[in-house]
Chains A and B, each alone.
Chain A
Amino acid sequence: MEATKTLSRNKGKVRETRKWLCMPYGIFLILFIILPILLIFYYAFSDPTTGLITLKNFKSVFEGDSSVTTFKVIGQSLGVAALTTVICILIAYPIAYILANSKWNKNVVLVYLFLLPMWINFVIRTVATKQLLIFFGLDPAMHPWVCSIIGMVYNYLPFAILPLYNTMLKLDKSQIEAAADLGASPVQVFIKTIVPMTVPGIVSAATMTFMPTMSSYVITDALSGRTIKLIGGQIEHQFLHSQLNVGSVYAIIMLALIGLSVVFENFFSEKKKGAR
């Protein structure tokens, strides 16, 4: 009795001490992740010289002519992100399906090959893409949208393939066969069994591409001759001109858009759970 009591007390103590292992990380999280985000809100609502609370920064972004630019930038960011996401998924879906289908491909190396370009610096890859597009007669200055979207899709395709591939590996083969045996046409099999089963993969592929594209201004800068401006680019512009307060306003816009996409993502994954 006594012995087990001390033993369990000892175990409790061990549990206590092991907990403290996350203290350094906790401090790191508070200092370098949570506090800086709170500071963004403070900076957005305060005067750069006096530090007093003001709406000045918001006014400079949302008043008069600047509001036109701001909404144009938001629209362009959403447009580039949405187009990139849709095209990435349309291309990545069949690739992931083929790679994950054991009848067609048993080789993981093929999957690695799709990921390998990610280890080449993305700025260098963007430069190469730009030159190649010019070689094919697509001048970024003349076709900013086409070139930017190609560059974005090229960069984010691996991020769309990977989650789709992972979900497709877990596809329930018997359900697909059952649907086919029961007389469903290949199209029906695809729409009614395969697509619903891969919704989680589609959702995570969409978030993996949609959110980062909104801030990938390096690619659009290089491939649109700086005609397409993303929110990320606006933040960089403010940073380069030491306008941290106005930059914070743009960061808050960005945070709001990210928040919205997270809500969307949760909505779709919740719906999926409900359907089960």
Chain B
Amino acid sequence: MEKELVMNAPNMEMEETNRSLQRKEKREKAKKAVALTFVWIMLLVMYLPIMYLILYSFTDANVIGKWQGFNLDCYSTLFNPKNAYAQQIWEAAWNTLWVAIVASTLSTVLGTAGAIGMHFLGKKFKAVFNFANEIPIVNAEIVMALSLVILFAWLKLPTSAFSLIIGHMVLTIPFVVINVQPKLEQMDPSLYEAAMDLGASRSGALFKVMIPDLLPGIFSGFMISMTLSLDDFVITEFTKPSEGTDFQTISTYVQGTLAKGAIPIQIRSFTTIIFVLIVAVMVGYTIVNNRKAKKI
């Protein structure tokens, strides 16, 4: 009897703490559930407009919101080369893509070279460069767009593919520079010098030692450039070619048709396809990244 009592006392205490621990755990779990529910609801809200658009890509109603039965007209007409809207959309898509690739590539080359050069400048010049580099980031896109239009008007040149590429470069270069800069600061300067001491040429040391070190920064700079350029409206609207055939990117094309009334139904199927592609790339990227993380 007595023994049992003695044994029981600490047990009861333990049970007490166990229970309070369990209660605490339960509270934590409830908190986590509430928090994650909130996040998922917000995500749902964020995706609602896109989902709505995707849903209506499966009906041929002229306006989104009037369901006219399930059919694949949006898709079949998008891939019909004789359809006028399809032609316009694919041409705009192609324009968007080549402008983004050309401008981002040029920005990446010029911006990376600029960042490397800036890294070895004196304090004063570096500060001046950094300040100038900040201007397009802080400045409103529309002010830059207007300023470029004025530049070309002042030079008595019509806006053209050249001014468009310049416009997109102005938009994207600063982001290449600020993405490469941190990698330059992390870089071990003695490596580059060691390569030179061991007989590497200047360009050899640059391309074989320095650039590989900077690659992640260069890559993210390029990706941000592509993202900004693909999505751009304002700079494109202002600096796009004004002469010859009607030049449109996806942004300006959709905005133009929206201003006139409804957007073509093929935009719905087009967006759905782009969305699926983006999700696929994202999933692929995550899988590859997870594998890499596991290997390490």
Contacts and interface: CB of A to CB of B under 8 A. Distances in A.
Given A33-B170, A43-B150, A98-B35, A121 B142 contact: no
A20 B47 CA distance: 47
Contacts of A24: 110, 113-114
Interface string A246-260: 011001001100100
A43 B152 CA distance: 13
Contacts of B258: 123, 127, 222
B114 A244 contact: no
B254 A127 contact: yes
B151 A117 contact: no
Interface stretch (B7-15, B73-81, B212-220, B230-238): B230-238
B191 interface: no
A29 B196 CA distance: 31
A124 interface: yes
Interface string B218-248: 0000000001001101100110000000000
Interface stretch (A108-116, A166-174, A175-183, A195-203): A108-116
Contact of A248 (B116, B150, B271): B150
Interface string B34-64: 0110110011001111101100100000011
Contacts of B238: 239
B49 A17 contact: no
B117 A109 contact: no
A76 to B, nearest CB: 15
Interface string A10-28: 1100110111111111101
A130 B218 CA distance: 37
Contact of A117 (B46, B111, B120, B150): B46
B188 interface: no
Contacts of B138: 211, 258, 262
B148 A36 contact: yes
B151 A128 contact: no
A14 B146 CA distance: 40
A123 B249 CA distance: 11
B143 A254 contact: yes
Contacts of B111: 25
Contacts of B170: 32-33
Contacts of A121: 230-231, 250-251, 254, 271, 274
Contacts of B254: 121, 123-124, 127
Given A135-B52, A247-B146, A232 B234 contact: yes
Interface stretch (A58-66, A212-220, A267-275): A212-220
A113 B42 CA distance: 11
B14 to A, nearest CB: 23
Contacts of A112: 282, 286
Contacts of A211: 138, 140
A94 interface: yes
A60 to B, nearest CB: 16
A267 to B, nearest CB: 15
A251 B118 contact: no
Contacts of B150: 36, 39-40, 43, 244, 248
Contacts of A11: 193, 196
A254 B35 contact: no
Contacts of B119: 18
B98 interface: no
Contacts of B251: 121-123
Interface in B1-47: 28, 31-32, 35-36, 38-39, 42-43, 46-47
Nearest to B281: A119
B158 interface: no
A10 B193 CA distance: 10
A244 B143 CA distance: 12
B88 interface: no
B142 A25 contact: no
Interface in B276-295: 278-279, 282, 286
Nearest to B54: A128
Contacts of A72: none
Nearest to A151: B49
B275 interface: yes
Contact of B117 (A22, A101, A116, A212): A22
Given A32-B169, A33-B136, 4 more contacts: A98-B36, A103-B32, A118-B227, A123-B251
Interface of B: 28, 31-32, 35-36, 38-39, 42-43, 46-50, 52-53, 56, 63-65, 110-111, 113-121, 129, 132-133, 135-136, 138-144, 146-151, 153-154, 166, 169-170, 173, 177, 193, 196-197, 202, 227, 230-231, 233-234, 237-238, 250-251, 254-255, 258-259, 263, 267, 271, 274-275, 278-279, 282, 286
